[in-house]
Each structure stands twice: as structure tokens, then as C-alpha cells.
Amino acid sequence: MSGGVLLGPQLVSCIQEKAPNSKTIMVVSGWQDVNIGDIAHTPGLLNVLQKFLPETKVILWKKSYSEKVEQLLNRNFPNVKIVHGHADKEGTVESEEVLAAMKEADLMIHGSGPYVVGSVNLEAWMKYTEKPFGVFGVTIQRIRGNLLSILQKASFIFTRETQSLDVLASEGLEGDHVGFGPDATFYFNLRDEDKASKFLSENGLEKNKFICAIPRLRYTPYYKIKPNNAGWSDEKIAQVNTHNAEYKEKDHAKMREVMIAWVRDTGNKVLVCPEMTYQVDIMDELLIDPLPEDVKPFIVKHDYWLPDEAASVYKKANSVFSFECHSPIIAAQAGTPVFYLRQPEDTIKGQMYYDLGLSDWVFEIDETQPEQIVSVARKVWNDYPAALKKLGASMKKVDNIYEKCISIITKVKVNN
């Protein structure tokens, strides 16, 4: 038996004596640490498990390593053991601590991400164990290589938007164990109130009296971020740079109109801040320098940060405007209205906003004029209680869907 078996409702009482809430779950997550959204995936999923399965022991197999992120996780999840170890293309693992963790765990969950990033980790799990596994909150835009054979053995598959379900269905992957499970970042609940309060105070940013603006290039220039130019050829670098250059002013001019409207309507400030490390270097060029002179004095900048501080700042903002997908999710969890300016290159993950009833706050950037964004923004600014009610309804949907996902996970038969 290479994978877990999903029990039907009539068989729930037949689950082995080891109760679901006493399972040990191994989570593979933490794909990279140069993006607060990617960082937030992991604590988001840990919080889901902590809330719905509070007695479950969790071991985190973290793919990337950052001392600051490890400290963040250890500080907030002291009972979660973190292990590191490479799995090669054949699923071979040499790390003794990973192998020991596999032996101890009853179940593996692949955490949220842009696709099944840890497919080799799942291969390793299948190679060294006969225990069940599943995927929680990922985008599956296409199925290539051996991914189909992996997913066919999964006990549950939760995609973070509904478009991925069509991709799965086209490959015959359907059933009660397959469904919509929003990105775990919707449960990112960590805060750094001290650091946020200090920053807000030093820059005269008052609660509900500032908005946030997050830039983004059409394609992330990973060659600037990762070692050895991320393995990109000179040709690919040139193509990405050319494409980004074509759209960067067109896109960000639309966000600047929102910034201008806010400052002139309210006399309050705008915080320009990053979701990824590279965005610190494009803030001035794309969002600040081209602004009218009467608006520039109202602009504040923030350097790259960790998601706990970002969440604490977003919590105090009036609203968050972002070309990136995950800062709005972090802000939404903190209770702040959000606007996602979606670029078509940013995969199908943006469908999750529509799935959760937030379509009024999503702007397909190529199809949107700046006055449309400003008009909807003003509705939020002028009737803030209605916006909060709308946001609360969407977050309640997230709660209900996560509860359903966990109920399916608890019905997975454990191979003792």
C-alpha cells in the first residue's frame, strides 16, 4: 500500500484507535524566504492545524533556511520541531533527522505554494514510508512529469483556487478528497506589534489614516535574488527585463492615481512597502518619483520586512493596494480591506479572491482604467463599516472551508 485510503462518512467510526487529534503530522513547507507571502504560508498552515487539531504533534520539514525566519517560527510555535534535509530527484534523503521524523509521523501534508513545490519531498515520503499524504492549498496550473502519479496516490488534494480543480479533473483526479482549500496565508496570525508601533510612531502613521501600496514587476527577476543568476541564461534575463520594462510604467501609473486621490481627498499618508526583497529597489522609480510635488511629502517607505511586522502595520492601515497576491491576504486576515491589482503573468492563483467573494476588490490590470480603482477605493473609504462587513463575510468562508478540509484529513486512515 503506497498511499492512504480516504474513508467514507459511514466508516468514520472504524478509524484506528489512534485518535485523529493525537496524530503526528509532518508538514513540508517553507519554499523561500525572500517573499513575505512565501514565509507566511508556513505559519498559516501551522495555525490551521493548531486551531482545528490542537492536540496534534507537528514536525516541519522546511525547505529553505533563514535564521530570522527560523527564529520567527520557533518563537511562535515552540512545540513544532523543525528539520532540514535535501531530497534528490529520486526521493533519496540522507538527513538522519528527516528520516527519523518520517518514521515518527503518521501523515505528511504538503503546504501552500505556487504549485506542488515539494514533489520530491512527497516522493521521499513514499519511498521511505507507506503512510498517507496530501496537499493543502496549492495552485496546480498544469500537471507534468511524475506529478500525476504522485497525486493519484494522495489521500487529499486541496487547491488554493477553483481553476486548479478543472486541471485535476481533466486528469481524472476527482472525488470527495479533492476540493478548494484557500492558501494557508489566510490563517497567518503572527504579529510584531512593538516593531510596527515604533515604525508607525516615527513616521506619523495613525490608525486608519494611511494606505499601503505594494509594487510588482510582471515577472519576478529571480536572477537578481538567487545565487548564480538563478540559473537563467542571458537570453532569458534579457526577455524578462524587456517584458518588465514594457509594462512597469503602465501598471504603476494606475496605482499612483489611487495614491494621489487618497492624499488629496484625506490629507493623509501613503506607505509604500515591499512583499519581495527586490521591490525595495523599484519603489522610488515606479511609485514615488513620478508623483506630483504636492503628494510626495505624504509618502513613507518601508524596507523589506518579515510578515509579522507587515501584518501589524497592515492591521492599522485603512486599506492595502497591491500588485502582489499575498500582502492583501495578510492584510485581510488582520481585518483590513484589500485591493488586488492583478497582472496576468501572476498565474491563476488570483482566482482565490473571486472564489471567496472579493471580486469587487480585484482589478485585472490590463482591463482596468485608474479611475475605476479610485472609484471603488472611495466607496470603501466613504463607507468603511460596509467594507469591513464584506471582508468579514469572506474570512468566515475561509474558516468554514478550512474546517471542512480538516474534517477530511481526520478521516484518513493511519498505517500503524
CATH number for the domain spanning 85: value is 3.40.50.2000
The reply to whether 271 and 301 lie within a common domain is: yes
Residue after which a domain boundary falls, among 128, 162, 188: 188
What pLDDT shows up at residue 414? 82
User: Residue 403 domain-assigned?
Assistant: no
What pLDDT shows up at residue 11? 27
- Rounded to whole angstroms, how far apart are CA atoms 416 and 413? 9
The reply to whether 227 and 308 lie within a common domain is: yes
Strand partners, 175: none
Residue after which a domain boundary falls, among 188, 218, 248: 188
What pLDDT shows up at residue 173? 97
The reply to whether 284 and 317 lie within a common domain is: yes
Please answer whether residues 241 and 350 qualify as being in contact, where contact means their C-beta atoms are separated by less than 8 angstroms. Answer: no
The reply to whether 167 and 245 lie within a common domain is: no
The reply to whether 161 and 199 lie within a common domain is: no
The reply to whether 202 and 223 lie within a common domain is: yes
The reply to whether 261 and 353 lie within a common domain is: yes
- Rounded to whole angstroms, how far apart are CA atoms 125 and 110? 11
What pLDDT shows up at residue 62? 97
The reply to whether 116 and 217 lie within a common domain is: no
User: Residue 408 domain-assigned?
Assistant: no
Give me the number of domains the chain comprises.
Answer: 2
Say how many Å lie between the first and final Cα of the chain, rounded.
Answer: 12
The reply to whether 224 and 180 lie within a common domain is: no
User: Residue 278 domain-assigned?
Assistant: yes
Task: List the domain range (segments joined by +) for residue 20.
Answer: 9-188
- Rounded to whole angstroms, how far apart are CA atoms 109 and 111? 6
The reply to whether 286 and 381 lie within a common domain is: yes
Residue after which a domain boundary falls, among 157, 188, 219: 188
Question: Model pTM?
Answer: 0.93
The reply to whether 173 and 304 lie within a common domain is: no
User: Residue 150 domain-assigned?
Assistant: yes
The reply to whether 170 and 257 lie within a common domain is: no
User: Residue 416 domain-assigned?
Assistant: no
Which residue ranges in the chain fall short of pLDDT 50? 1-20
Nearest Cα neighbor of 118 from 156, 97, 91 is: 91
User: Residue 108 domain-assigned?
Assistant: yes
User: Residue 365 domain-assigned?
Assistant: yes
Please answer whether residues 298 and 290 qualify as being in contact, where contact means their C-beta atoms are separated by less than 8 angstroms. Answer: no
User: Residue 284 domain-assigned?
Assistant: yes
Sheet containing 81-83, strands listed edge to edge, beginning at the edge strand earlier in sequence: 81-83, 57-62, 24-29, 107-110, 133-138, 156-159, 178-180
